[in-house]
Amino acid sequence: MKNIVIALLITISSINIMCAQDRVTGKTFATRSEVIAKHGMAATSQPLATQVALDILKKGGNAIDAAIAANATLGLMEPTGNGMGGDLFAIIWDAKTQKLYGLNASGRSPKSLTLNYFKENGYDKIPSHGPLPVSVPGCVDGWFEMHKKFGTLKMAEILDPAIKYAREGFPVSELIAYYWDHSVPRLEEFSNFSEIYTINGKAPAKGEIFKNPYLANTLEKIAKGGRDVFYKGEIAKEIDRYIKEQDGFLSYEDLASHKSEWIEPISVNYRGFDVWELPPNGQGTAALQMLNILEGYDIASMGFGSTEYIHAFTEAKKLAFEDRAKYYSDMDFNDIPIEKLISKEYSNERRKLIDPDFAAEEYPAGELEQGNTIYLTVADQYGNMVSLIQSNYRGMGSGMTPKGLGFILQDRGELFSLDENHMNCYEPGKRPFHTIIPAFVTKDGKPFMSFGLMGGSMQPQGHAQIVINMVDFGMNLQEAGDAPRIRHGGSSQPTGEIMEDGGTLYLESGIDYEVIRELMKKGHKITFDLGGYGGYQAIMYDAKNGVYYGASESRKDGQAAGY
């Protein structure tokens, strides 16, 4: 109770701060106006990466070229959230075919590592760091798949900005420096980490110049030799050697056999807007399930930040996440009833479980037939739009840092369950459950918005909130991201943990005290959190005026810019 009271006092004292913008136009919580441009737009979580994307567009490259360039640059500048050692997902609107394409560039578990290994060695869960949670990094193959299908410039030209920044250095931005400093104590025990990612044994401070010549060399090799240098050449051999040295299992064979997969995005219609996500092994389906459930309420009349809205949203999230915990997994290993999960009929039945007066302590999953991340989006003068998300999972990843390559391997395998009856149970050559999800919205079959909101389990909650903020509450693209967010934690997880006592509702500053008090009366356990509300970027296309609108997350270091 003491923590709740303290949290409420902090929240109350923060309300005036949130309302002190004194803007002539727009909502009181908006941090700035939307960015508007005709020929192109880029929104990333680091301003220099945004400028890299714009430079590629100005050279005649398309949105796909620019997205790859920005992602490569972010791997250098924001290693606390992404890099070549991680996975990638993308949704691409192709102006030529007038169609959406989905890319699953996530890697699989080592073929030589079995479930019995974990059982025989006394593991009840897969550890977060070290060699055991390492799965095949899919990012680089994802770049080349995107480039092969849609790219226009040569890969050497696309990767050149990241290579130059890696050699010459760049000033580390504020929030990235903060997370970097928190990662070093956890990862400095692993070989090669400190050599690459510290300066005199410490994380680079805000404004300090950081260089990564090892990463520059690796990017140059990839630019010249293509994706096979990474998966079948000297880079793959070094990863194999290093992981064996660390008593791990990821092998050259695992890397050599890796391939990304082009998949069909899935969607639901929310009040006339088609919201698109990718099917599992990601969690985008949860955002669609939440929107389906919430469509049955008159959200607009409830009002933004109201007790009724926050309660309905939280309970819808709990329902969707129980299905997430039970069903979301690698579809190559399981028959997952996606069409049923995102059907209006199913959501109508699930909605009946919500009590308007009380917060549920638990919900059953439906009975059916059978960390940190970066998000970026780019749009070009030709009408192409890219929604791309990429991650190492736990911030800087597993700590596994192959010698001389300049990047860390991801720890996405931590998200496997060790329960052999669970759909997401560990198996060799299987893709783990993924938190990272890109999103897209179309209207009447035409592109409307490319967006994403990074941050673990916050992502589907954030996707739903952005759509609701714009569609139900009439916010513009920037306001939809700046608005105070809500996050529910403690739902059942794909790793096997079960929701207890209804979980915890985290409220960002700006929610009225009377609303908090009423939510507590309904049984919600509420606390204040300094972070964990995600990082948002978005681009919207205005067909009437033929212009792009851009927005960037006020809680991160990012920037939206156009030309």
Q: Looking at the annotation, which residues are catalytic?
A: 373
Helices 344-351, 307-327: inter-axial angle, 10-degree rounding: 120
Residues whose CB is less than 8 angstroms from the CB of residue 463 and which lie 6 or more positions away in sequence, other chains included? 275, 277, 284, 287, 437, 439, 451, 452, 453
> Which among 447, 265, 397, 252 has a CA at the least distance from the CA of 338?
265
Three-state DSSP class for 513? Answer: helix
The answer to whether the CB of 294 falls within 8 A of the CB of 288 is no
Q: What is the CB neighbour count within 10 angstroms for residue 421?
A: 7
Burial environment of residue 554 by CB neighbours within 10 A (0 to 12, 13 to 18, 19 or more): middle
The answer to whether the CB of 153 falls within 8 A of the CB of 267 is no
Rounded to the nearest 5 degrees, what angle is found at the Cα of 524, between the Cα atoms of 523 and 527? 140
The answer to whether the CB of 408 falls within 8 A of the CB of 392 is yes
The answer to whether the CB of 366 falls within 8 A of the CB of 346 is yes
332: tokens are 């190559």
The answer to whether the CB of 82 falls within 8 A of the CB of 373 is yes
Rounded to the nearest 5 degrees, what angle is found at the Cα of 47, between the Cα atoms of 165 and 552? 150
- CA torsion, ordered 494, 498, 502, 506, to nearest 10 deg: -50
Cα–Cα distances (Å) from 545 to 164, 377, 417, 549, in that order, read 37, 20, 49, 11
> Which among 197, 202, 201, 191 has a CA at the least distance from the CA of 214?
197
- Counting every residue written for the chain, the total comes to 563
- Cα(84)–Cα(73) distance, rounded to whole angstroms? 11
Q: What is the CB neighbour count within 10 angstroms for residue 511?
A: 25
Three-state DSSP class for 138? Answer: coil
The answer to whether the CB of 356 falls within 8 A of the CB of 363 is no
- Cα(56)–Cα(232) distance, rounded to whole angstroms? 29
DSSP H/E element including 307: helix 307-327
- Cα(184)–Cα(399) distance, rounded to whole angstroms? 10
Residue identified by tokens 């299905």 is 323
Q: Phi, psi at residue 449, to the nearest 5°?
A: -155, 135
